[in-house]
Structure 1
Amino acid sequence: MIFLVKGSYSINHSSFSKVLAKYVTVNGDVNYKALSSNRSDLDNYLKFLQANPPKESWAKNEKMAYWINAYNAFTIDLILQHYPLKSIMEINNGKPWDLNFITIGNVKYSLNHIEHEILRKDFNDPRIHFAVNCASVSCPKLLNVAYEATTLSIQLDASAKNFINNEQKNRLTPGAIDISKIFDWFADDFRTYGGVIPFINKFASVKVSPDAKVKYKEYNWNLNE
């Protein structure tokens, strides 16, 4: 749904929230089997995104929320196109993110383009890494509600905090940490917070020493269902 507010368009993602609330648990597990049999609401949301690409007049948070939701919704769509499967890595010879299967406006996109050329490049906010979901066990959980411009910063903080303090994703002690490969793959992105450990300490319940020993967990690409 779109509303005209003070001369600019404002997107409401409540239709995606409806899908997420019905098919995603509070822990981020997705009922792909049930969704594959009843995907009309998801398809309608995808068509809505495709027909309403972001405009220059939109506020930053509106654009960011749009692209985060687009990434997550089209990732679900990609899984459903190939379901049943055990891992997203079974798609396109292990390169599912390179597929140009997304059309928004008149432009073709891949998931990689949305993540790296739009979300990371245009917004420079490492909290994005805990909002986009790659349909895998080791990923930050898929929220069962859509991201909205009006609550975006609160939602991004909550997603980062939830992921960092999840002992299945990261194990933190003051002197040593065993953390997600996300912090290794995208280490440069956390420089805006002073680096990986300062970023972790912003959200962690256990504060980590700047000199802590760092290990990275093996990534589990099994499907998040």
Structure 2
Amino acid sequence: MQPISRFTSRLALGTLLAAGTLASAGCGYVGYLIPLNPTSQDGPTLDHSAWDGLLKKYVDDQGMVNYKGFRQDSAALNSYLKTLSDNLPAKKSPADEKLAYWINAYNAFTVQRIIRAYPVKSIKDLGGDKIFVDTVWDQDFISLGGKRYTLNDIEHRIIRKQFDDNRIHYALVCAAMSCPRLRNEAFVGRTVQEQLAEQGRDFINNPQKNDLTPAGQPTLSAIYSFYPKDFEKNGSTSIQDAVNRYAKQKIDPNAKISYKEYNWSLNEQ
């Protein structure tokens, strides 16, 4: 029994260490294993115009957020989130409609979490540092369809499990400077594919997020290191390939990649 016990202990320790490394980025990577698929039996296509109006009002063209304005307009934000809660995507809704719903939900609930604690210097200040336990992304403050969810549930157990599209990492915004720019319009099903492409072009070609030169040794956003396997699918064979999908200046297919330090400061105007 002793050899088996020793092996089991080492395996458990290795798993914990790996999980800790992967999850150390907060909203970066939490390997939830059980998928979620919250839906309603039927219902109309959800109108995201209320969220669209708030984004146009309080987010500038650089994706910087006026959290003071959002806080003053919290009743409108809460009303939109109540609409999300009461109108889960219909089971038979097109995949693009569901994807738009979940991206908007993640971003809108993130804004709500910030303004509830505002002023704050970083979203990471709103939770503990125990992985899978008490980070801000593990708090079940999200009410949808009568059940409670976390931001990690939405990102890792719903979006990443249901939608095989690594471009979602250019659209989900966790209120930090190194995150993608918060788009100042809502995602909608009929245009979500074009919106994701625009997000990809903006993120990849933004020198504050990625330095694509020299082509053989680019310095990329740490987001790529958080989700390396995600960028080896959805039509991409590698991180380099995923970057070159939208890069104006291509990097070498076998480029030696280094990663920028992630800036968790609040993405505030």
TM range, smaller chain = over 0.9
Deviations 1:126-166 (A, max 9, x none): 00001010000000010010000000000000001100000
DSSP 3-state at the match of 1:11: coil
2:251 matches 1:216: no
In structure 2, what is the Cα distance between the partners aligned to 1:40 and 1:81?
Answer: 12
Q: Which residue of 2 aligns with 1:136?
A: 176
In structure 2, what is the Cα distance between the partners aligned to 1:113 and 1:8?
Answer: 23
Superposed, 1:22-41 pairs within 5 Å as: 22-41=57-76
Q: Which residue of 1 aligns with 2:240?
A: 197
DSSP 3-state at the match of 2:85: helix
Q: Which residue of 2 aligns with 1:206?
A: 249
Q: Which residue of 1 aligns with 2:118?
A: 83
Aligned length: 219
Query: In the alignment, which of 176, 179, 186 is matched to residue 220 of structure 2?
Result: 179
Q: Which residue of 1 aligns with 2:150?
A: 110
DSSP 3-state at the match of 1:172: coil
Q: Percent identity?
A: 44
Structure 2 letter corresponding to 1:189: D
2:164 matches 1:124: yes
Superposed CA RMSD: 1.1
The answer on whether the counterparts of 1:9 and 1:57 sit within 8 Å (CA) in structure 2 is: no
DSSP 3-state at the match of 1:120: helix
In structure 1, what is the Cα distance between the partners aligned to 2:173 and 2:87?
Answer: 22
DSSP 3-state at the match of 1:167: coil
Which region of structure 1 is more displaced relative to structure 2, 100-109 or 7-16? Answer: 7-16
Unaligned runs of 5+ in 1: 1-6
Give the 3 Å change call, closer, same or farther, for CA 211–184 of structure 1 in structure 2: same
In structure 2, what is the Cα distance between the partners aligned to 1:147 and 1:37?
Answer: 23
Structure 2 letter corresponding to 1:185: F
The answer on whether the counterparts of 1:8 and 1:57 sit within 8 Å (CA) in structure 2 is: no
Q: Which of structure 1's runs of 4+ aligned residues deviate more than 2 A?
A: none
- Higher share of residues assigned helix: 1
DSSP 3-state at the match of 2:44: strand
TM-score, normalised via structure 1 length: 0.95
In structure 1, what is the Cα distance between the partners aligned to 2:106 and 2:73?
Answer: 20
In structure 2, what is the Cα distance between the partners aligned to 1:37 and 1:68?
Answer: 23
Structure 1 letter corresponding to 2:218: I
TM-score, normalised via structure 2 length: 0.80
Which region of structure 1 is more displaced relative to structure 2, 150-159 or 10-19? Answer: 10-19
